[in-house]
């Protein structure tokens, strides 16, 4: 197993949970998702201020098979990639 964490800002809990649900993950307890022997833990949401802008921020901890780790994180990051202007 390989463990890694990422912090994501500007995305709601509902969007993250919807992604896991649509991708076939199983919600095994509040904030904990399982799929193919791997798990993801969604931490507590906090608000981060950037000047006058307040964004939700959360840390996700991925515990996955080494063979699936890079692909799962890459797919997750691509889904929540944001561009500003």
Residues 35-83 have pLDDT tens digits of 988 999 999 999 999 899 999 999 999 999 999 999 999 999 999 987 7
Secondary-structure breakdown of the chain: helix, strand, coil percentages, each rounded to the nearest 5: 30, 45, 25
Q: For 2-25, what is each residue's pLDDT tens digit?
A: 999 999 999 999 999 999 999 999
User: Using only C-alpha atoms, what is the Rg of the chain?
Assistant: 13
Burial class (CB in 10 A: 0-12, 13-18, 19+), 62: buried
Domains in the chain and their CATH numbers? 2-79 (3.30.1370.80)
């Amino acid at each position: 197993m390989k463990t890694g964490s990422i912090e994501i800002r500007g995305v709601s809990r509902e969007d993250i949970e919807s992604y896991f649900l649509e991708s076939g993950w199983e919600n095994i307890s509040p904030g904990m998702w399982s799929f193919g022997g791997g798990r993801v833990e969604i931490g507590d949401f906090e608000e981060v201020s950037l000047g006058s802008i307040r964004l939700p921020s959360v840390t996700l901890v991925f515990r996955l098979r080494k063979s699936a780790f890079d692909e799962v994180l890459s797919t997750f990051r691509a889904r929540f990639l944001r561009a500003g202007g």
